[in-house]
Chain A
Amino acid sequence: MNGASQKAPGTSPDYGLFQLGALVSLRMLIGWHFLYEGVAKITNPYWTSAGYLRESQGWFSQYFLDLANSPGALTAVDHLNQWGLLLIGVALLVGTFERTAAVAGIVLLALYYLAAPPFPGMEYTIPAEGSYLIVNKLLIELAALLVVLGFPTAHRIGLDRLLVWKKHHAGNAALAPASGEAAS
């Protein structure tokens, strides 16, 4: 295994080759998944989140049911879902706005999870494709995004590398720092 040396606080971790490969794979696979979920919903004229929302149980079910029962809110929720998934997916896949995308993805997954948590005693009419007790694939993907958030890679393999280079170069040239996700 390639060892990684943690650099001083305030700087990015310096990954070994294997670690970098594993982290980039994780980021891109999640990106791919989000992207296809978004594209599939956008290209299906019959898709709506209503069915999922109507199934809602648990602490926040009232809130989700209200969304499902308000045509205006439902349209907004549907669009946010479709385009949110697509944008998060593209960002993670190509490696830009990585942190924003990871946070947004975590928020979306948390909402999906909370809308229909697989807690004991809760039965859903929309069947799950597996067997879950409290932990389901949504929660695992959410945790995986926490890893993406904590161990960024876009500045190494991803479009952000160009931004970082530009900033690095601009800093060297004593110009005003470029703004942007990667330079925050």
Chain B
Amino acid sequence: MSDGNEKIQDAAPGSHPNRRDVLKALASVPVLGVFFAGWYQKKLKEDARRQAIMEELGITEGAPAFIRDAISRPPGDRIRVGIIGYGGEGESLVRSAGFAHPDWIESERKAAEENPRNRALRTFMEQDDLNIELTAVCDVFDVRAERAQAAAVNQVGPTAEKASGRAAVRYFRYTDMLESGDVDAVLIATPDHWHAQMCIDAAAAGKHIYVEKALTREEEETHRLYEAVKASGVVFQLGHQQRQTESHIKAREVVQAGILGPITLVETTTNRNDPWGAWVWDIHEKGSPETIDWEQFQGPAPNRYPFSLERFFRWRCWFDYGTGLSGDLFSHEYDAVNQILDLGIPRTAVASGGIYFFKDGRDVPDVFQAVMEYPDRDLTLVYSATLANGRSRGRVFMGHDATMEVDNGLRISADASSTRYEGKIGEGLIDPSMPMFSFQPGFEGLDAITSATAEYFVSRGLLYTYRGGRLTNTYHLHIAEWLDVIRNGGDTSCNLERGFEEAMTCHMATRSYQLGRQVSWDPVARRIV
């Protein structure tokens, strides 16, 4: 545009630019100076504010530190694992341990092609090789047992190089698996009513145990399980995989640093609003009395029924096999709070609710509220749930000085009437209407979520977390921790004591709902009364 032909009106023909030229050439440079002066002022102010808050809080913004045990590689250290119960949850566990069914690989490959935000397959392929072999499977439904066997020999996955390709043996009874000498450790992912007996038998056989939550279906069997596992010395992990979620570990740091002040109320919630989220799970087309060992399924259930596809595939809807919201979802919420606050078992519990939406023959409530009192801690824990509304209500820790909301990240806001932050609020350094501290691991707005219920799982830290900035499956980390303890000693994060607390707290809520009155925990007799 400007070229050599242009007449520079102001330019003098001398050998140096005249003063006017220089002035006009440099006219905008002072603006640059103003810019950087302004920016520097702004930065100083923001840095001072940030530093004041961080000094006040005494906590870093970084991810919590992990000292991850190295996974033992020698073949002698390979652990032979058996899976008992290969339904939806069992399949997730086995996949998180490194063995995916070929159909899953194929469907996730297609899903990732259609939507590049879907990283399920990539996350699976990037999992650590846990140096285990899936040697034995047990399921009362033929289709699922065969699926588990196919997963065990699938060469595609993080364990591909290690897999011997040897077929996993199917056992029709888990006791035969325990006695076979084929397994060192078992993953138990059956309906809840089987957990206690299976754990007791596995402990007696000296097999390490990873059992899905809820730990048990009722109080009595919990005591027997506790004694048996404790006496055996096997490594025990309860499947509350959100113990591995970075934000929960960070939340514990926050509470221990006293940032929230005295916490008097913790509110936890479940909101889901689709049939799947209310346990109206698919009934498999091949399910029949010929393919399902119905008698074995019923096992220790308190009532016997004729063969029922609904009861088999949608067992969470009945107290015969589980405890509904209490054991399925309150258990996760409670364990998350227990992880952060070390609450233990409440003094009293009162619960209420009803079957208000899914009137499909179930006997567990679909709307359920429980209030647990901890007078020794000057704290109430509230759980509130509905399966017929999807509004996200979060998990909130309410302290005198600040409020902390914990999901896959965490946010802390100072309380406007806080004693501790009064000065800094007055100075304008802390604005109570804005989070003064937030921790959001990994990227924002991540990854494709396929359904409302899946979104619920993700927001609760139940599916994925981050390690070193990398998206990681929490099941995988929870199983890896269990295997590390088996090999190297130490303690699992959701050990027998935590499991006992989870079971008793959930059973107090269930009992209160069923009896329609408040129940208490007798800490001496260790009984619900």
Asked if A10 CB lies within 8 Å of chain B CBs, one says yes
* A164→B8 contact, CB < 8 A: yes
Please pick, from A24, A39, A54, A157, the residue contacting B446 in the complex, using a CB distance under 8 A. Answer: A54
Residues of B within 8 A of A117 (CB): none
* A162→B443 contact, CB < 8 A: no
Asked if A93 CB lies within 8 Å of chain B CBs, one says yes
Interface residues of B in 1-49 (CB under 8 A from A): 1-6, 8, 11, 13, 15, 17, 21-22, 24-29, 31-32, 35, 39, 43
Please pick, from A32, A51, A159, the residue contacting B35 in the complex, using a CB distance under 8 A. Answer: A32
* A66→B28 contact, CB < 8 A: no
* A54→B6 contact, CB < 8 A: no
Please pick, from B15, B116, B443, the residue contacting A51 in the complex, using a CB distance under 8 A. Answer: B443
Interface residues of B in 341-369 (CB under 8 A from A): none
Asked if B224 CB lies within 8 Å of chain A CBs, one says no
Asked if B377 CB lies within 8 Å of chain A CBs, one says no
- A157 vs B21: C-alpha distance when bound (angstroms): 9
Interface residues of A in 158-173 (CB under 8 A from B): 158-162, 164-169, 171-172
Residues of B within 8 A of A112 (CB): none
Closest chain A CB from B125 CB (angstroms): 14
Residues of A within 8 A of B119 (CB): 69
Taking A39-B39, A54-B446 as contacts, is the C-beta distance between A183 and B29 under 8 angstroms?
no
Taking A161-B24, A162-B25, A164-B6 as contacts, is the C-beta distance between A51 and B445 under 8 angstroms?
yes
Contact with B along A137-157 (1 / 0, CB 8 A): 000000000000000101111
Asked if A110 CB lies within 8 Å of chain B CBs, one says no
- A51 vs B3: C-alpha distance when bound (angstroms): 43
Please pick, from B3, B117, B446, the residue contacting A65 in the complex, using a CB distance under 8 A. Answer: B117
Taking A48-B443, A51-B445, A54-B117 as contacts, is the C-beta distance between A165 and B28 under 8 angstroms?
no
* B32→A162 contact, CB < 8 A: no
- A93 vs B28: C-alpha distance when bound (angstroms): 6
Please pick, from A28, A35, A50, A99, the residue contacting B1 in the complex, using a CB distance under 8 A. Answer: A99
* A158→B21 contact, CB < 8 A: no
Count the A-B residue pairs with Cβ separation under 8 angstroms: how many? 104
Give the number of chain A interface residues (Cβ < 8 Å): 48
Give the number of chain B interface residues (Cβ < 8 Å): 31
- A161 vs B13: C-alpha distance when bound (angstroms): 14
Closest chain A CB from B408 CB (angstroms): 15
* A69→B35 contact, CB < 8 A: no
Asked if A94 CB lies within 8 Å of chain B CBs, one says yes
Residues of A within 8 A of B32 (CB): 90, 93-94
Asked if A126 CB lies within 8 Å of chain B CBs, one says yes
Closest chain A CB from B301 CB (angstroms): 45
Taking A35-B35, A93-B28 as contacts, is the C-beta distance between A12 and B8 under 8 angstroms?
no
* B4→A11 contact, CB < 8 A: no
Q: Give chain B's interface secondary structure class.
A: loop
Residues of B within 8 A of A156 (CB): 24
- A36 vs B376: C-alpha distance when bound (angstroms): 53
Closest chain A CB from B350 CB (angstroms): 39
Asked if A116 CB lies within 8 Å of chain B CBs, one says no
Closest Cβ neighbor of A168 among chain B residues:
B8
* B117→A12 contact, CB < 8 A: no
Please pick, from A66, A90, A158, the residue contacting B27 in the complex, using a CB distance under 8 A. Answer: A158
Closest chain B CB from A165 CB (angstroms): 5
Asked if B290 CB lies within 8 Å of chain A CBs, one says no
Residues of A within 8 A of B8 (CB): 155, 161, 164-165, 168
Closest chain A CB from B482 CB (angstroms): 30
* B445→A165 contact, CB < 8 A: no
Closest chain B CB from A61 CB (angstroms): 10
* B2→A155 contact, CB < 8 A: yes
* B28→A95 contact, CB < 8 A: yes
Residues of A within 8 A of B17 (CB): 161-162, 165-166
Asked if B378 CB lies within 8 Å of chain A CBs, one says no
Asked if B444 CB lies within 8 Å of chain A CBs, one says yes
Closest chain B CB from A170 CB (angstroms): 9
Residues of A within 8 A of B35 (CB): 32, 35-36, 93
- Jot down 28 A-B pairs with beta carbons below 8 A, ordered by A: A11-B5, A12-B1, A12-B2, A32-B35, A51-B443, A51-B444, A51-B445, A54-B446, A65-B116, A66-B116, A69-B119, A90-B32, A93-B35, A99-B1, A125-B445, A152-B1, A152-B2, A154-B2, A160-B25, A161-B17, A162-B21, A162-B22, A164-B6, A165-B8, A165-B17, A168-B8, A171-B4, A183-B4
Interface residues in chain B, defined as those with a beta carbon under 8 Å from any beta carbon in chain A = 1-6, 8, 11, 13, 15, 17, 21-22, 24-29, 31-32, 35, 39, 43, 116-117, 119, 443-446
Pick the 8 closest A-B CB pairs, nearest first.
Answer: A161-B25, A155-B2, A152-B1, A51-B444, A162-B25, A165-B17, A65-B116, A12-B2
7 further interface pairs, Cβ-Cβ under 8 Å (given A50-B443, A50-B444, A65-B116) = A36-B39, A43-B43, A54-B445, A125-B445, A164-B2, A171-B4, A182-B2
